[in-house]
Amino acid sequence: MRLVVQKFGGTSLSSAEKIHRAARRAIRAKLDGYRVVLVVSAMGHATNDLLALSNEICTEPPKRELDMLLTTGEQVSIALTAMAIHAAGHEAISLTAAQLGLYTDSVHLRARIKNINRNRLDQELSSNRIVIIAGFQGIDMSGEITTLGRGASDTTAAALAAVLHAHQCEIYTDVDGVYTTDPRIVPQAKKIDEISYDVMLEMAAAGASVMHSRAIVFGKKFGVPIHVRSSMTDGKGTMIMNETSSMEEVVVEGVTLKEDLAVISLHGVPHQAGLAARIFAELGHHHILVDDIVQNIYDDGKYANISFSINTSDASTAHNLCQQLARDMIIENVTLEQGVSKVSAVGVGMRTHTGTASTMFEALAQAQINIKNISTSEIVISCIVNSTDGVRALRSIHNAFGLDNHDSPSDQINPAR
Ligand code: ADP
Ligand code: ASP
Ligand code: MG
């Protein structure tokens, strides 16, 4: 019997009516002959509200207690969704990660899935029930509650789809698919019908918040097609799948903006083997995720400047660590620049087409935007700019790559800013 995993995000569950709608969709899949596993996020802005509440209690809440608090949001959703399915006359059961046996490492707030126990799932599915799993949460080997990072219910869904060999993982959200950029910032963005795992992964990692990046890793590794679609309509959304040859014809498929970044620069690092390893090992040891790293060598190869970007939330911890390292390793000085954003252009066509970088830089030059840092990989070009220029940079680059849809009724989605 074929199995489908359906994931509903917070905005798709923000009221009783929307929870009933999600329940109806799951029931429809069941009546169509599928085994159905639902993964739900916290209702509406519940996770943000819980975070705000914790900040009213103390400025630096212990991460363990934050996980304890934040997971309650998803627990509310699973119970209400199960009730909605019961109310419609069908069988459903809600399960937390602990009840299911979704095991993670012990890194609070950004835990990674280690193992998912199928026993309970198989048992409930064989009893013909729709199984509703709390997204975003896990337990570690000693039973501590963890969370997988903001937006990670997508990852719960894709991981379950992988373990259960699902026919498809459906991500129901408040847009009708993946667009060439965030349609709330650029209303001219175009919907993409099909996108490769690789491009989606890079877009998600570079700020396309419509999907959590680790979900794409699971999808690719286990060959699960992911369908991103609207929870409000029945239209076809975007299929995230293996690359096809036609995808190479488009040079840039998407443009992204990642905000709330900071750049840390270590100036005058003695250019010796092993120093960079030591710096980044120390940051990794403190679970700090480092974004793009840029190194320049100067003074006849004696010294290097090393810069990297990180999320603002990690900035002060990372800055303190680097200052300690600077003392130990005789590094000249360490600077921290807050208030920067990253704009990126992503596309598999970059592998075979030339001129992408110059188009991007030209677009920024015409908009009179200074580039602070540039980094490139096989299918991504990124520029760090001042946060105040971020949205303008995104719009200019999107337009420069011919991605603007001039025919689209731009009032379909209200731009947020
Ligand atoms: P959910 O609560 O369903 O998980 P999210 O807020 O996490 O929803 O993701 C949906 C949002 O992602 C959209 O409202 C949109 O503003 C944003 N987004 C960012 N980049 C893109 C993109 N390239 N395509 C579509 N949506 C995007
Ligand atoms: N509720 C969690 C969050 O807001 C997880 C999710 O929505 O995917 O980050
Ligand atoms: Mg999301």
C-beta separation of 342 from 386 below 8 A:
no
C-beta separation of 292 from 342 below 8 A:
yes
Q: What is the pLDDT of residue 407?
A: 73
Q: What is the pLDDT of residue 303?
A: 94
Ligand nearest to the backbone CA of 174: 1
In a 3-state reduction of DSSP, which class is residue 234? coil
Q: How does DSSP assign 8-52, residue by residue?
A: E-GGGGSSHHHHHHHHHHHHHHHHTT-EEEEEE--STTHHHHHHH
Q: What is the distance between the alpha carbons of residues 329 and 110, in angstroms, rounded to a whole number?
A: 30
CA-181 nearest atom, ligand 1: 23
Q: Could you tell me the two tokens for 358?
A: 């110059």
263: amino acid identity, one letter: V
Residue nearest to atom 2 of ligand 1 (CA): 9
Residue nearest to atom 23 of ligand 1 (CA): 181
Q: What is the pLDDT of residue 250?
A: 86
Runs of H (alpha helix) within 330-414:
356-366, 390-400
The number of beta carbons lying within 10 Å of the beta carbon of residue 227 is 18
In a 3-state reduction of DSSP, which class is residue 152? coil
Q: What is the pLDDT of residue 415?
A: 47
Q: What angle do CA 322, 285, 326 make, to 5 degrees?
A: 15
Query: Could you identify the residue written with the tokens 């337009």?
Result: 399
Q: What is the pLDDT of residue 414?
A: 47
First to last CA, the chain: 46
Q: Tell whether ligand 2 has an atom less than 6 A from the beta carbon of residue 210.
A: no
Instruction: Find the helix or strand (DSSP H, E) in which 138 lies.
Output: strand 137-139
Q: Are strands 333-346 and 254-270 parallel, antiparallel or unpaired?
A: antiparallel
Ligand nearest to the backbone CA of 178: 1
Q: What is the pLDDT of residue 411?
A: 41
Q: Tell whether ligand 1 has an atom less than 6 A from the beta carbon of residue 135.
A: no
Name the stretches of the chain with pLDDT < 50.
410-417
Query: Could you identify the residue written with the tokens 């914790």?
Result: 54
Q: Tell whether ligand 1 has an atom less than 6 A from the beta carbon of residue 12.
A: yes
Q: What is the pLDDT of residue 408?
A: 60
Q: Tell whether ligand 1 has an atom less than 6 A from the beta carbon of residue 182.
A: yes
Query: Could you identify the residue written with the tokens 């459906």?
Result: 170
In a 3-state reduction of DSSP, which class is residue 26? helix
Closest CA to 55 of 35, 39, 69: 69
Q: SS3 sequence, 272-340?
A: CCCHHHHHHHHHHHCCCCEEEEEEEEECCCCEEEEEEEEEHHHHHHHHHHHHHHHHHHCCCEEEEEEEE
Instruction: Find the helix or strand (DSSP H, E) in which 35 lies.
Output: strand 35-40
Q: What is the pLDDT of residue 352?
A: 87
Q: What is the pLDDT of residue 81?
A: 98
C-beta separation of 85 from 40 below 8 A:
no
Domain with CATH 3.40.1160.10 in the chain: 3-174
Q: Tell whether ligand 2 has an atom less than 6 A from the beta carbon of residue 147.
A: no
Q: Tell whether ligand 2 has an atom less than 6 A from the beta carbon of residue 73.
A: yes
Q: Tell whether ligand 1 has an atom less than 6 A from the beta carbon of residue 11.
A: yes
Q: Tell whether ligand 2 has an atom less than 6 A from the beta carbon of residue 150.
A: yes
- pTM of the model as a whole: 0.93
- Cα 259 to Cα 52, 211, 309, 361, 384, distances in angstroms: 20, 16, 11, 19, 10
Closest CA to 222 of 139, 160, 138: 160
Domain with CATH 3.30.2130.10 in the chain: 255-412
Q: Which of 13, 38, 69, 150 to mutate to test the pocket of ligand 2 (most atoms within 8 A of CB)?
A: 150
Q: Ligand 3 centre and the CA of 152: distance in Å?
A: 7
Q: Tell whether ligand 1 has an atom less than 6 A from the beta carbon of residue 157.
A: no
Residue nearest to atom 25 of ligand 1 (CA): 178
Q: Which of 7, 185, 209 to mutate to test the pocket of ligand 1 (most atoms within 8 A of CB)?
A: 209
C-alpha 389: how far from its chain's center?
23
Q: What is the pLDDT of residue 22?
A: 98
Residue nearest to atom 21 of ligand 1 (CA): 182
Q: What is the distance between the alpha carbons of residues 304 and 253, in angstroms, rounded to a whole number?
A: 35
CATH of 255-412, picked from 3.20.20.70, 3.30.2130.10, 3.40.50.12780, 3.90.1150.10, is 3.30.2130.10
Residue nearest to atom 9 of ligand 2 (CA): 150
In a 3-state reduction of DSSP, which class is residue 67? helix
Class of domain 3-174: alpha beta
Instruction: Find the helix or strand (DSSP H, E) in which 87 lies.
Output: helix 63-87
Which residue(s) pair with 6 in the sheet? Answer: 38, 170
Runs of H (alpha helix) within 107-225:
119-126, 153-163, 197-205, 213-222
Q: Tell whether ligand 2 has an atom less than 6 A from the beta carbon of residue 10.
A: yes
